[in-house]
Structure 1
Amino acid sequence: MRTSIGIMIACLLFAACSKQPDQNKELHMETANITKETIKNTINSIEKIFPDSEAELITKGVEHAASLWRNTDGSEAEFKNFCEKQFIGNSQQKSLVFEKISRNLEVLYGHFNKISLDLQKPLHQPMGEILEVDKAFGAYNPNAHLNADLYRNKLAFTIALNFPYYSLEEKDEMAQDWSRLDWAYARLGDRFASRIPSHILQKVSEIESASDIYISDYNIYMGNLTDATQTSFFPKDMVLLSHWNLRDEIKSQYSKGEKGLASQAMIYQVMKRIIDQSIPQKVINNDEFKWDPYTNVVYKDGKGIEATPENNQRYQQILNNFHVSREMDQYATLNTAIRRAFEGQMEITQKDAEKLFVKFLSSKELKNVAELIKQRLGRDLKPWDIWYDGFKSRSSIDEDALNTITQKRYPNAKAFDADLPNMLVKLGFSEKKAHYLAEKIDVDPARGSGHAWGAGMKGETAHLRTRIPETGMNYKGYNIAIHEFGHNVEQTISLYDVDHYLLNGVPNTAFTEALAFIFQSRDLELLGIKNKDSQQQYLKTLDSFWSTYEIMGVSLLDQRMWKWLYANTNATAGELKDAVEKIAKEIWNDFYAPVFGMKDEPILAVYSHMISNPLYLSNYAFGQLIQFQVEQHLDNSDFAAEVQRLYRIGCITPGAWMQEGVGKDISIDPLVDMTHKAVKKVSENL
């Protein structure tokens, strides 16, 4: 049976490969064929048929549909005839059509989401060895051909004609006047902003999946790290995923004072080897060898052996994502990956984002906070102190003690799942609402550090995937899991409780990160550990300020790296590596060296998001600002009730959401101003 299935899969793959050239040939034959004259004649015709309809909306709908129409869809005369028949001039009829489209899109997106979830299960959960067939199925995108099919049966053109796409600038201009239904109509228009061929979408999915697998298998066996004296610094069974777990281990060492400094230095040395790709291939996700990251010597049975470096595989992953993004550019209304990530997904321009980040990174308060950290540490700053964790409530608690609590309480994913309702009740949700939400969230074990995967339709559950060792959930895993739980609560409320399906979710991932951070910051509270420190509020502000400082530099690197890629489209992986290191050091020298007192540190380039989640990091930076503003708002509110109200606002634009949610625009000023006050208060007690 196994052989037969293998032959079947091979035949299917062969058939798919054999057909690809013909498909590509057909796609390259497609051309835009609607002239300005035909557009004008079509608009005039519809205005005569529907004299009471808004002329501006008719024009916008016809122009957008024409931008998507190709010669393979029909002639110019057929286009005009289609628009005359399909334009909806009655508002009640339009609302009815919208509801039917919404219902059917939820069915499609929901089931495609479930298919992807199930196909990627062997990749994301510990289900034994990952085979090539697992990777192939996991990379398959069941949604890749949906838009092509909807164009083929003309439904996409019906939507584009009657629910046209609005640019970010137009949305911002109209936000104050739009009703909830207007917003939902606009979000439907976003679904057909561009027409990207399905074979490219499938290729994007495959490359994203390959990058995700590369990162999820990037484990370092910490017990095998050694120095020149053959001293081990970490437990034998400690395995840390780059970069997340390595970073979190640096954070955990602050509670150990001077003893933790050598461990932090060794982890940083590992990070630098990852960045410059001198890390030996043999020590990645492999427990057979000991390794001295300072001398870069690999040992087997106590003897140094030859070991080749990873050799720029990290940067090849970035290039793979870049090249497939460029294939999308010619078909997209937002014609670069940078524009799609910012104007499209975040709905904040890259230029505005960079301007805001540079303003924050130039803040005078940074040196004041740095001086405070130096006093608390009793030493000068080290490069890894961008992750200084001493302002957090848990920083004074030995992590071993926290591990004991979490390992006992959560020996496996099932135990964590069972406790979800109790956690929600502790946060102020009613018993009824807590169980309502918890029933719609499933907890699964994870291979990597974990993630949250929302349901795509009502009736399905969101998934919280978390990494739990055989010894039980350690504190690091618990802390991440609470963050993912925050995502799941948002995903559930903004799907089930929002008024229109097309408005489900939040404006962008910066918002869902902000709301997840709000849950994560309450992790000790959920363990029943109360912070009696009278300065808690000020310490929390300082922690938020320093975390924002760290992630904004990384985000700026991500942005500038992609700008460099577009300026150097034929770059090799080696050239990209050199460029990333150069940009990382430039940003460090501009914004970190004046604060830390040392130059040319590459640490900003270690983030795994740059490989597996292109142009995502800026969401975290905005998330920090949004979190702080929302937290200030929640301080004077019923937490659970207000969280539910905020999540029900849905995915309108960021500016509109902030105005409706907290009455203010996104800004660095609230955080900077409160930090100035916090430095004074905390300094008084030193």
Structure 2
Amino acid sequence: MKNYLTLLIMAIIFSSCYNSDSNTQQKEVANITAATVDATIDKLTNMHNVADADLLARGVKHAASLWRNVDGTEAEFQAFCEAYFIADEMQKELMFNKVSRNLEILYGHFNKIILDLQRPLHEPMGDIIDIDKAFGGFSAGSHLTSDLYRNKLAFNIALNFPYYTLTEKEQNAASWSRKEWAYARMGDVFTARVPAEILQNVSEISSASEMYIANYNIYMGQLVDDDMKTYFPEDMVLLSHWNLRDEIKSHYSKGADGVQLQGMVYEVMKRIINQTIPQKVINSGEYQWNPETNQTFKDGQPVELTNEGNDRYQQIINNFHAMRQMDEFSPLNTAVKRAFAGGMEITQADAEKLFTEFMSSEELKQVGELIKKRLGRDLKPWDIWYDGFKARSSIDEDALNTITRTRYPNAKALDDDLANLLLKLGFTKEKAQFLSDRIDVDPARGSGHAWGASMKGETAHLRTRIPDSGMDYKGYNIAIHEFGHNVEQTISLYDVDYYMLNGVPNTAFTEALAFIFQKRDLELLDMKNDNPEKDALQTLDNFWSTYEIMGVSLLDQRMWLWLYANPDATAEQLKVAVEDIAVDIWNEFYAPVFGIKDQPILAIYSHMINSPIYLSNYAFGHLIQFQVEQYLKTADFAPEVERLFKIGSITPNAWMQESLKEDISIVSIIEEAGKAAANISQ
């Protein structure tokens, strides 16, 4: 109790001091003129015999773009540049190594602080109270960037390691050495000056959205039909949208009975999308609920319950306003640009063009007809999640649940088995042990996630939902996906040659390895797939999954573009817009394949709430997965995974060229899917 009160008092003092400072803070404005920039460049050029005059000029211009009146006068800016510009290459490399070490220390420890503060939110550690949410939303590192500007370290780094735009990186990709790439990535550290209070607000809003989704469970045993009949196990509790989607997938082996259950889950999804779901059936088993009629009951008697309203869309609005506050401080002046050109290093326009071309391909109709034939019925809207191309689709999920629950009764059992799983995938005993020692398995409140370390010496965390009865197959399947993330996170931290290149080009690349691991989930359960059509089926599975996620991703993109065009929109207006956009995308790209119009199903994804502008990473992840899988067919799996993911965080196309000697493309997956569909049809 003493420690708890001490932390609370410190938080209150921090808040009071911070508010006091903000009231007296001088307004920050840019104050370095072009004339001063030119004069500074001339002075430094005369002072030093530099081999790369363009780099010198770039450094001065970049530092000047970040300098504000609170940092000093123009004369002080010029004096700073004269004092801290490094012309000697050996001294520059020495500085680079020291900065890299210190950034790893800072990023690593702040990452650990956030992870530990959010444990009560992400792991089943008892009831969540308001103070858990407050600390979970607190970002100890939100003032780091601001502090580094205040003490001039940021300008020192920006001056000597300037920023390159995405276009410039692509132009230099073929000629840059690994060290030059690492220098360029250090230039990405300081590109904008976002006030700490804005960063803190983004963190708090994001944490609130995480909690909203983490507690969006549906008690399936309480769903009833018109005759008050129940269909799902009494103790089944499914998180939206992940577990609801996976429940639909699990019923493809059950024929007409499976269709009925899938239809009931779909009605739940539609109620969530249009926000007519009764508030008190969310995360509660107190009431029976008929999702088709929306009637609710208590002990078999009808009761009136209030609908959720627009909470789902208010979360999106909150994230939009928090992230929009960053716009004026960034050269990428919208959250959309920061997510695509900044984070993914692929422009939103290029992503949309690629997605629409893919979803317009005639091969989709060919595969849709094949699915229709295999199901023996017309397609339903939820068949965007058709799971019949996977080996497990013909296996009753109860049998799979028995295997996974026996093998993994708790998180420790999975943790103890990680090295063994890696051995099955072909990693050496030494490498399997190295990786598994740096990954910890934790039980999760939500569907699960992978949380990587940001410095050597810390472990990555694999979190997945494990009920008291043991890990069911859905949880296991997600866990193997997250395990793929953890393996990438560990390889790309420990094996990369420069800390500034740790990680992958964007999260689509870590999704690719996660998908590659997830696809081998039955193999890791020692269940062999001897089907001669295995390769063709895997191609079709990836192709159909890419089709599904591209529509969802396009909705996410267009929703954010709509928000920027309508910044004062209410949650109700956003809800209407999202449903309209979802239906429009469906009618353009899915109705021609499904033969059904006006379906809103694309709007169910929880990522739209708790992971803003993230979904497109999954779509690119599927494309990259396919290309990597094609390459791995003629390569040794484990050594190649190690080679690919220690390339690090160069730009996406540069990574693809270095690893596979090709660009990101939709051509091969479309062609191969057409061939596979024709072969399976025969």
Give the distance between the partners of 1:437 and 1:541, measured in 2 at CA: 29
- 1:598 pairs, out of 593, 596, 599, with 596
Matched AA of 1:501: Y
Q: Counterparts of 1:536 and 1:10 in 2: how far apart (Å)? A: 57
Q: Deviations over 1:106-138 (max 9, x none)?
A: 111111111111111100000000011111111
Separation in 2, partners of 1:183, 1:58? 17
Matched, 1:501 2:499: yes
| Matched position secondary structure for 1:232 | coil
The residue identity in structure 1 corresponding to 2:593 is V
2:670 matches 1:672: yes
Cα pair 2:509 2:624 within 8 Å, conserved: yes
Equivalent residue, structure 2, for 1:269: 267
The one of 56, 72, 75 aligned to 1:74: 72
Q: Is the 8 A contact 1:123 1:138 kept in 2?
A: yes
1:125 correspondence with 2:123: yes
Instruction: Give the letter aligned to residue 519 of structure 1.
Output: F
Which amino acid counterpart does residue 59 of structure 2 have in structure 1?
Answer: G
Structure 1 position 641 matched with structure 2 position 639: yes
Match of residue 656 from structure 1: 654
* Kept after mapping to 2: 8 A contact 1:27/1:197: no
Could you say what secondary structure the match of 2:586 adopts? Answer: helix
Deviation at 1:21, TM superposition (A): 4.5
Instruction: Return the TM-score normalized by structure 2.
Output: 0.99
Per-residue CA deviations over 1:2-23 (Å, capped at 9, x if unaligned) read 7x955x5665454444445544
Partner of 2:291 in structure 1?
Answer: 293
Q: Hey, what does 2:485 align to over in structure 1?
A: 487
Please give the TM-score of this superposition, normalised by the length of structure 1: 0.98
Give the equivalent residue in structure 2 for 1:187.
185
1:137 aligns with 2:111: no
Compute the displacement of 1:306 (Å): 1.3
1:396 to 394, 397, 401: 394
Alignment of structure 1 residues 78-97 onto 2, 5 Å? 78-97=76-95
For 2:19 and 2:138, how far apart are their aligned partners in 1?
19
Who is 1:518 aligned against? Answer: 516
Aligned counterpart, 2:206: 208
Q: Is the 8 A contact 1:495 1:504 kept in 2?
A: yes
Alpha-carbon distance in 2 for matches of 1:82, 1:337? 32
CA distance in 1, matches of 2:512, 2:255: 30
Matches within 5 A, 1:176-325: 176-325=174-323
The 3-state SS of whatever aligns with 2:251 is: helix
* 1:388-420 C-alpha deviation (Å, 9 max, x unpaired): 000001001111111111100000000001111
Partner amino acid for 1:58?
A: L
Are the aligned partners of 1:115 and 1:142 in contact in 2 as well (CA < 8 Å)? Answer: yes
Q: C-alpha separation between the residues in 2 aligned to 1:53 and 1:573?
A: 56
- CA distance change for structure 1 residues 638 and 5 in 2, over 3 Å: closer, same or farther? closer
CA distance in 2, matches of 1:17, 1:620: 38
Tell me which of 421, 424, 443 is aligned to 1:423. Answer: 421
Partners of 1:123 and 1:135 within 8 A in 2: yes
CA RMSD, 1 decimal: 1.1
Match of 1:579 in 2: 577
- Are residues 1:46 and 2:37 paired? no
Q: Is the 2:26–2:70 Cα contact (8 Å) retained in structure 1?
A: no
Count how many residue pairs are aligned between Structure 1 and Structure 2: 682
Residue 217 (structure 1) shift:
0.2
Residues 267-319 of structure 1 show CA distances to partners (whole Å, capped at 9, x for unaligned) of 00000000000000000000111100011111101111110011100000000
The CA deviation at 1:28 is 6.1
Which residue number corresponds to residue 566 of structure 1? 564
Equivalent residue, structure 2, for 1:459 = 457
Amino acid at match of 1:440: R
CA contact (8 A) 2:251 2:262 kept: yes
C-alpha distance in 2 between matches for 1:327 and 1:556 = 24
- 1:32 and 2:30 correspond: yes
Change (3 A) 1:339 1:57: same
- CA displacement at 1:603 relative to structure 2: 0.2
Q: Structure 2 CA distance, aligned partners of 1:134 and 1:28?
A: 34
**Could you give the per-residue CA deviations for residues 496-540 of structure 1, whole angstroms, max 9, x where no partner exists?**
010000100100000000011000000000000011110000000
Q: Which residue of 2 aligns with 1:370?
A: 368
Q: Runs of 4+ in structure 1 displaced over 6 angstroms? A: none
Bigger shift: 24-33 or 257-266?
A: 24-33
User: How many angstroms apart in 2 are the aligned matches of 1:288 and 1:557?
Assistant: 34
Amino acid at match of 2:209: S
Q: Does structure 2 conserve the Cα–Cα contact (< 8 Å) formed by 1:625 and 1:668? A: yes
The separation in 1 between residues aligned to 2:406 and 2:562, in whole angstroms, is 49
2:468 corresponds to: 470
**What secondary structure is seen at the aligned counterpart in 2 of 1:255?**
coil
Q: Distance in 2 between matches of 1:343 and 1:41?
A: 32
User: Does the 8 Å contact 1:47/1:53 carry over to 2?
Assistant: no
**Following the alignment from structure 2 to structure 1, what is the Cα–Cα distance between the partners of residues 240 and 660?**
36
Tell me the secondary structure at the aligned position of residue 279 of structure 1: coil
Shift of 1:265: 0.3
Closer/same/farther in 2, CA of residues 577 and 173 from structure 1, 3 Å limit? same
Q: Which residue type is aligned with residue 499 of structure 1?
A: D
How big is the shift at 1:51? 2.4
Shift in Å, 1:95: 0.5
SS at match of 2:175: coil
Q: Given residue 322 of structure 2, which amino acid in structure 1 is its aligned partner?
A: V
Once the two structures are TM-superposed, the CA of residue 257 in structure 1 deviates from its matched residue by: 1.5
- Asked if structure 2 preserves the Cα contact closer than 8 Å seen for 1:222 and 1:234, the reply is yes
State the one-letter code of the partner of 1:221.
Answer: Y
Taking the aligned partners of 2:9 and 2:554, their CA distance within structure 1 comes to: 46
Paired residue type of 1:565: L
SS of 1:148 mapped into structure 2 = helix
2:576 equivalent to 1:546: no
Distance 1:382 1:639 in 2: 37
- The amino acid across from 1:594 in the alignment is P
Give the distance between the partners of 1:446 and 1:465, measured in 2 at CA: 5
Cα drift, residue 249 of structure 1: 0.2
Could you say which residue in structure 1 is the equivalent of 2:144? 146
Question: Which residue in 2 is equivalent to 1:438?
Answer: 436
What is the percent sequence identity of the aligned residues?
66
**Shift in CA distance, 10/108, structure 1 to aligned 2, threshold 3 Å:** closer
Partner of residue 379, structure 2:
381
* Aligned equivalent of 1:618, options 616, 619, 624: 616
- Aligned equivalent of 2:351: 353
1:677 offset after TM fit, Å? Answer: 0.7
Q: Which amino acid aligns with 2:378?
A: D
Classify the secondary structure of the residue corresponding to 1:298: strand
1:259: Cα distance to partner? 1.2
Deviations along 1:183-237, one digit per CA (max 9) or x if unpaired, are: 1001111010111111111111000000000000000000000011111110000
Secondary structure (helix, strand or coil) at the match of 1:220 reads strand
| Deviation, structure 1 residue 52 | 2.6
Query: 2:92 & 2:540 partners in 1: Cα distance?
Result: 51
Structure 1 residue runs of 5 or longer lacking an equivalent are none
SS in structure 2 of the partner of residue 419 of structure 1:
helix
1:624-653 superposed Cα distances (whole Å, 9 cap, x missing partner): 000000000011000000000001100000
* 1:555 paired to 2:553: yes
Q: Distance in 2 between matches of 1:28 and 1:157?
A: 20
CA contact 2:113–2:140 (8 Å) conserved in 1: yes
Structure 1 counterpart of 2:641, which letter?
V
- Any idea what SS the aligned residue of 1:304 has? strand
Tell me the distance in 1 between the aligned counterparts of 2:495 and 2:13: 45
How far residue 441 of structure 1 moved from its aligned partner, in angstroms, is: 0.6
Task: Structure 2: state its 5+ residue gaps.
Answer: none
